[in-house]
Structure 1
Amino acid sequence: MSSIPARFSMDSFGPERLAKVLDLLLDAICIVDVDGRFLGISGAGERIFGYPVGEMLGRPMIDFVHPADRPRTLAAVDAIVAGHPQPHFENRYVRKNGSVVHIMWSARWSAEEGVRVAVARDVTERRRSEAMRAALYAMSDAAQSADNLASLFDRTQGVLRELLDASGFGVALHDKASDSIAFSHWSDPHAPMPAPGPLSSGSASADVMAGTGPACWSHAGLTGPAGSGWTGLPLSTARGVIGFMVVRGMQGASDVALDELELLRFVALQLAAAMERKQRDAWLEHVAGHDALTDLPNRSLLHEHLVKAAARARRDGSRVSLLFVDLDRFKQVNDVLGHAAGDALLQEVARRLRACVREADIVGRLGGDEFVVLLTGLHASDDALAVAEKIRLALGRPCDLAGTSVAVTPSIGIAHSPEIGADWDDLLRRADAAMYGAKQCGGDAHRVAPGPQSAG
């Protein structure tokens, strides 16, 4: 078998000709001396490192490495010099324009020449694609697993810390009614949370919200070694910009690198979409459990509250009382003044009922002019009687309905647990019967439902 003749011999290549061929490579060949200084860089070095080769020769290699990657880069150098080649080592370099390049190295030590020989390949695009994919998965997981917005913000901060080594993170929301900005989440060891304030024209917050100019954000109260290196990005949804997120630069750097902005914009879009879904889900859940007219809990949600309250009462030995409130002669208001006035009256009744009870107590509407008040954590039945009397007096005060002074009185039935039990239907039925008894006696009164033994 005849062999294929060689078309040329390496021996025929002189140093200049060989250098020209090596300069055609897409990867850069680098030679570094024992002190870590560049002795030689092939032509691709300028494209990869972002410096003219002449500006890098003679300078320490470590000067060009991203500050966060320097410790592990020096550790890899020690391993190479000790005779352990590194065929797939990756780190980041900072280009002359401040952008960051991800480099994969194949390097080994030549003891005979006393130099380190390495090939540098630019893998920035691959790393960016991987980072985008990782951010998509991480933000999708955060949106699915977070129970509320606070949890979502915590998860997003973790994503940014892992992907970008971000040292600070905050989320500010825009209140359209007051045209102001307030931070809902803030995490930074060097700066306090910015105070709420108006969205002043020309401010850093207004610029970020508008998406004009560079995505920078300043915080006057910021102190610490990293300066004011904040990047702000608007949280844009289909309904408009709802606020913005701010990210503080990577550890040891003053700013988030320009090349990371694309990833940050992607995370901001994902966060805004997740926030919109969370808010929509919370709104739907609220609507499903609340009365549309008064925004009070409806029958279904009241049932859930009673089950939880009864369980707490069993644990701590306290009592639960259910007050069934029905307005006397409410139909006359509708007939004389119209349904709009009747609706306004029901909304006023809801406000007065809430004002009569503690924050831990529950006020709900069953429908029509029927309301329920759930008192929890009581230790004596007289406590419920005092609240019922307070409600009777509050609802009996006149209120203005479209220029007409109207006063309606309530009939109130009261059922106690554990005397009657903790079953929702039993308590509601007994309280309803007691309310009906008070109404038959003329109304404007409260009556307590008898327990099972005295009922027969």
Structure 2
Amino acid sequence: MVDYVSDPALTQFLDLLLDVVCVVDSDGHFQYVSAACESVFGFTQEEMVGKTVQDLVHPDDREYTLNRARQVMAGTDSTQFENRYLRKDGEVVHIMWSARWSEEGQVRIGVARDITRRKQAELVQSALFRISQAAHRERDLGILLDQIHDIVAKLVPARGFYLGLWDYRDGRWNYPFSRDRENAGAAQAEGVEPLCEQVRIKGQTLLSGPGALTTGDTDISGSRSCYWLGAPLTSEQGVIGALVVRSDSPAAGFSEEHQQLLEFVADQVTVAISQQRLLARLEQRAQYDALTGLPNRALLDDRLQKAISVAERESGMLALLFVDMDDFKRVNDTLGHAAGDCLLQLTAQRLLASVRASDTVARLGGDEFIIVLEGLAATDHAQVLVDKIQGAFALPFELDHKPLLSPVSIGMALYPDDGTTPESLLRHADKRMYAAKETAAAQRTTPSDQEQPPGSDATQ
């Protein structure tokens, strides 16, 4: 075998190169490596010589590397061939090779260039693009965070990944998303909430070593082996949450690049959450009555149609109640619109308290309400509820610290007896509501009594 590097002057020259020059025999053993091997692979020249290529190649790249080695040994020069090696400290290093086979010496001569930083930059750029794309495309926060976690996990040495959201109304943290390789109750992992709280208070990204924050003396984990990195989710309203990652590896820690990546991810998550909350508010305005919080006409139509479809499919029965407040105009005229609005809100609450959670109570407009009762076993059940509502409204409201009676008239329509469409059911219920109102008016007290201010009859 020809010794290609026996000349001391040549080896001194090769040792000046930033790239690693390698000589590998036909069995894959390193015969020579230049001095740069220690900065690239973590091994000294003495440690590497005698080892095989397969000893150091990343397990996932061994078969591919072996095939390329066979091609080189067959006489095909290889340039810009990339694979991964494992450094002495266990870290992955990306290598670009140029190699050729020496038939005379029966060795492969290769030059290895460390392209780890370039590959890392490419991965980060790709990750940033995919994260940004996902944040603007995916409306479901859980699915979005799953996608982000899968991307970030390949770039950040983290064993735990947590999203904490601060509830300003309740003054507490909740954790809609967490992934932890070791802790089943990841959201309760020791150290998550203390760091989230510090991030919220300081409004900045915080990096911690074992036991304490690097920006102060606050102990966040109670542990001497955990490394934490937390980035704030900052919106126009302030810090609304924190994105936190955890590492248990003393050798890993978190670099400045990891911090920048997490800050970018936090910004994208903030955008996604803000968009989600905006859409929720818009949907709320589009489907719910602003004053009472009840479903409006649009949402009522949708629910009623779905209820009819279910009843038709299951050969079931449903009831529609048309509820109208008898003296609402008089309350508005004598007590003012603010009192009228308050009475509408109290009426909505009383109607909700009278029905099942599965029933729909909607505000049709003005002082008119609709109740949809699904899954009725018999007509009598609907009448029982009508009587219950009438009984509830026989009791006075407390309005401006004064008792006020506000009776209602109710018209009922049944599916399928009175109709099989939303329009026909509403028409029948409306007609019967007016009939009930006329009956109630005929049973009222004398005209002199009617002229009394609203609520005065509640005390008689």
Band of TM-score, shorter chain:
0.7 to 0.9
- The 5 Å alignment of 1:92-131 reads 102-106=94-98, 117-131=109-123
AA aligned opposite 2:328 = F
- Is 1:41 the counterpart of 2:34? The answer is yes
AA aligned opposite 1:72 = D
2:180 maps to which of 179, 185, 188:
188
AA aligned opposite 2:359 = D
1:332 maps to which of 315, 330, 333:
330
AA aligned opposite 1:214 = L
Offset of residue 146 of structure 1? 3.2
- Is 1:148 the counterpart of 2:148? The answer is no
> Counterparts of 1:102 and 1:185 in 2: how far apart (Å)?
33
8 A contact 1:319–1:418 mirrored in 2: yes
8 A contact 2:20–2:33 mirrored in 1: no
Per-residue CA distance 1:45-67 (angstroms, 9 max, x = gap): 56656x696797679799997xx
For structure 1, list consecutive stretches of 5 or more residues without a partner in the other structure.
Answer: 1-12, 446-456
Offset of residue 435 of structure 1? 0.9
8 A contact 2:205–2:229 mirrored in 1: no
Offset of residue 365 of structure 1? 0.8
> Counterparts of 2:278 and 2:178 in 1: how far apart (Å)?
23
The aligned residue for residue 10 of structure 1 is: none
The aligned residue for residue 174 of structure 1 is: 166
Offset of residue 148 of structure 1? 2.5
8 A contact 2:65–2:83 mirrored in 1: no
- The 5 Å alignment of 1:334-353 reads 334-353=332-351
> Counterparts of 1:229 and 1:61 in 2: how far apart (Å)?
35
8 A contact 1:23–1:42 mirrored in 2: yes
Per-residue CA distance 1:169-222 (angstroms, 9 max, x = gap): 33221111222111112233521335679x99x922222333353167999799
> Counterparts of 1:324 and 1:147 in 2: how far apart (Å)?
37
- Is 1:269 the counterpart of 2:267? The answer is yes
The aligned residue for residue 89 of structure 1 is: 82
- Secondary structure of the equivalent of 2:330? helix
1:72 maps to which of 54, 60, 63:
60
**Inter-CA distance 378–71: structure 2 relative to 1 (3 Å threshold):** same
> Counterparts of 2:210 and 2:131 in 1: how far apart (Å)?
23
AA aligned opposite 2:354 = C
8 A contact 2:35–2:45 mirrored in 1: no
> Counterparts of 1:415 and 1:270 in 2: how far apart (Å)?
51
Per-residue CA distance 1:299-348 (angstroms, 9 max, x = gap): 01111111111111122222221111111101222222221121111111
The aligned residue for residue 232 of structure 1 is: 230
> Counterparts of 1:304 and 1:22 in 2: how far apart (Å)?
78
> Counterparts of 1:133 and 1:440 in 2: how far apart (Å)?
73
**Inter-CA distance 424–263: structure 2 relative to 1 (3 Å threshold):** same
The aligned residue for residue 207 of structure 2 is: 214
8 A contact 2:28–2:52 mirrored in 1: no
**Inter-CA distance 217–37: structure 2 relative to 1 (3 Å threshold):** same
The aligned residue for residue 3 of structure 1 is: none
> Counterparts of 2:198 and 2:6 in 1: how far apart (Å)?
59
**Inter-CA distance 110–348: structure 2 relative to 1 (3 Å threshold):** farther
8 A contact 1:320–1:377 mirrored in 2: yes
> Counterparts of 1:111 and 1:243 in 2: how far apart (Å)?
64
Per-residue CA distance 1:281-305 (angstroms, 9 max, x = gap): 1211111111111111110111111
**Inter-CA distance 421–249: structure 2 relative to 1 (3 Å threshold):** farther
Instruction: Tell me the percent identity.
Output: 37
AA aligned opposite 1:186 = S
8 A contact 1:27–1:120 mirrored in 2: yes
Which segment drifts farther, 340-349 or 107-116?
A: 107-116
AA aligned opposite 1:170 = Y
The aligned residue for residue 258 of structure 2 is: 260
> Counterparts of 1:412 and 1:203 in 2: how far apart (Å)?
55
**Inter-CA distance 73–308: structure 2 relative to 1 (3 Å threshold):** same
Tell me the number of residue pairs that the alignment of Structure 1 and Structure 2 aligns: 421
The aligned residue for residue 150 of structure 2 is: 158
8 A contact 1:38–1:56 mirrored in 2: no
8 A contact 2:54–2:62 mirrored in 1: no
The normalised TM-score by structure 2 is: 0.75
Root-mean-square deviation over aligned CA pairs: 4.3
The normalised TM-score by structure 1 is: 0.76
Which segment drifts farther, 160-169 or 204-213?
A: 160-169
- Is 1:294 the counterpart of 2:292? The answer is yes
Offset of residue 246 of structure 1? 3.1
8 A contact 1:322–1:415 mirrored in 2: yes
8 A contact 1:64–1:95 mirrored in 2: no
> Counterparts of 1:238 and 1:48 in 2: how far apart (Å)?
46
> Counterparts of 1:411 and 1:152 in 2: how far apart (Å)?
49
> Counterparts of 2:393 and 2:147 in 1: how far apart (Å)?
47
Offset of residue 385 of structure 1? 1.4
Per-residue CA distance 1:1-46 (angstroms, 9 max, x = gap): xxxxxxxxxxxx9945545554554533355787977953344x56
Offset of residue 102 of structure 1? 4.1
**Inter-CA distance 139–38: structure 2 relative to 1 (3 Å threshold):** farther
